[in-house]
């Protein structure tokens, strides 16, 4: 088998779905390991892939680790195999920790985000030299390209990448909810307010692919107009500082999650 999923939560399902739909993997090339064989069958059935137990890793080429970081220390000895390549999507767990726990330096670290579900993820990748030489990094690049854009970055940027990009959908969902609530306060029907907020964020995202944020802001904020008054109110509430603090706090937490011995 080309790839075995160790755990198959929402992110794992998005990655598997993208890889199958785009032909990077065929169902017979993929296996899933769950907490039990029965659970593995439940996870594998919707995709037509193979339900496996840990002993089946002997027949695999690579493993994608998609478990919670807190579960990794006790799980690592059970999945460590010298012939395998490993791809981890666990937040905060460094390649050094992965290599030490797995006693294997064929390690790729990846950080996608929830937009993988619609093929719009931004995924960071980094790998140890042994993983590059074995083709594991190239495989991971092909795999994550099925769910969005891929960026190979230095590992010291992974925690801020996670805090900014991987966490961003939650931040922006909060912005959308707050914007919709504000519209409701001013008399807008809630369903319409939510739709308008979602459309505004989506359209702004497209515009920001070709415009600097400051340029877009200045184009919308005409002298003495409604937008500049709204921006003044946001600045008075320290909106920028709130985002600084959010990314800083999430970065710190990522580093804490990585402190597995």
Residue 29 lies in a domain: yes
Sorting pLDDT into bands at 50, 70 and 90, what band is 259?
Answer: low
Residue 13 lies in a domain: yes
Same domain, 140 and 245: no
- Based on its alpha-carbon atoms, the radius of gyration of the chain, rounded to whole angstroms, reads 21
Q: Quick check: 123 and 64 in contact, CB under 8 A? A: no
- Note the pLDDT tens digit of each residue in 132-177: 999 999 999 999 999 999 999 999 999 999 999 999 999 999 999 9
Residue 64 lies in a domain: yes
Neighbours of 193 (CB within 10 A): 21
- Note the pLDDT tens digit of each residue in 180-218: 999 999 999 999 999 999 999 999 999 999 999 999 999
Section 237-247 average pLDDT? 96
The confidence score (pLDDT) of residue 23 equals: 95
CATH number at residue 184: 1.10.3730.10
Whether pLDDT at 98 is above 80? yes
- Note the pLDDT tens digit of each residue in 50-82: 999 999 999 999 999 999 888 999 999 999 999
Residue 7 lies in a domain: yes
Same domain, 132 and 177: no
**Tokens of residue 32, six digits:** 């899933």
Same domain, 65 and 180: no
Same domain, 137 and 182: no
The confidence score (pLDDT) of residue 260 equals: 54
User: What is the widest separation between alpha-carbon atoms in the chain?
Assistant: 69
Neighbours of 60 (CB within 10 A): 20
Sorting pLDDT into bands at 50, 70 and 90, what band is 40?
Answer: very high
Per DSSP bridges, beta strands 3-6 and 62-65 are parallel
Give the orientation angle of helix 239-257 with respect to helix 226-236, to 10 degrees.
50
The H or E element containing residue 78 is: helix 72-79
Same domain, 26 and 153: yes
Same domain, 249 and 151: no
Q: If we measure between CA atoms, which residue out of 36, 38, 99, 106 comes closest to residue 72?
A: 99
Please give the tally of structural domains in the chain. Answer: 2
Same domain, 90 and 145: yes
Same domain, 139 and 112: yes
Section 112-122 average pLDDT? 95
Same domain, 219 and 92: no
Residue 129 lies in a domain: yes
Tell me the residue range of the domain where 93 lies.
Answer: 3-158
Q: Name the DSSP class of 165.
A: I
- Domain-ending residue, one of 104, 138, 158: 158
The confidence score (pLDDT) of residue 201 equals: 96
The confidence score (pLDDT) of residue 257 equals: 77
- Tell me the Ramachandran region of residue 238: left when phi exceeds 0, alpha when psi lies from -120 to 50, beta otherwise: left
- Domain-ending residue, one of 110, 129, 158: 158
d(CA 124, CA 242): 24
Same domain, 66 and 36: yes
Same domain, 18 and 139: yes
Same domain, 144 and 57: yes
Residue 189: exposed, middle, or buried by beta-carbon count in 10 A (0-12, 13-18, 19+)? exposed
């Amino acid at each position: 088998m080309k790839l075995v999923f160790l755990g198959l939560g929402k992110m794992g399902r998005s990655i598997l779905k993208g890889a199958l739909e785009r032909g990077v993997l065929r169902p017979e090339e993929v296996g899933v390991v769950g907490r039990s064989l029965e659970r593995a069958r439940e996870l594998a059935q919707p995709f037509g892939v193979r339900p496996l137990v840990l002993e089946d890793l002997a027949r695999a080429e690579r493993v994608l680790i998609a478990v919670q970081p807190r579960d990794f220390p006790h799980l690592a000895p059970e999945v460590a195999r010298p012939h395998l390549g490993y791809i981890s999507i666990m937040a905060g767990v460094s390649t050094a920790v992965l290599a030490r726990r797995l006693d294997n330096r064929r390690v790729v670290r990846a950080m996608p985000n929830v937009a993988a579900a619609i093929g719009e993820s931004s995924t960071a990748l980094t790998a140890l030299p042994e993983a590059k030489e074995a083709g594991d990094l190239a495989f991971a690049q092909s795999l994550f390209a099925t769910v969005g854009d891929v960026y190979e970055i230095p590992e010291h940027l992974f925690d801020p990448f996670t805090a900014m990009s991987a966490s961003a959908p939650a931040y922006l969902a909060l912005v959308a909810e707050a914007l919709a609530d504000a519209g409701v306060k001013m008399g807008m029907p809630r369903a319409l307010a939510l739709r308008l907020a979602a459309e505004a964020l989506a359209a702004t995202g497209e515009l920001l692919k070709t415009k600097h944020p400051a340029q877009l802001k200045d184009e919308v904020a005409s002298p003495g107009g409604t937008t500049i008054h709204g921006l003044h109110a946001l600045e008075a509430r320290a909106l920028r500082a709130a985002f600084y603090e959010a990314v800083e706090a999430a970065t710190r937490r990522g580093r804490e999650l990585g402190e597995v011995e």
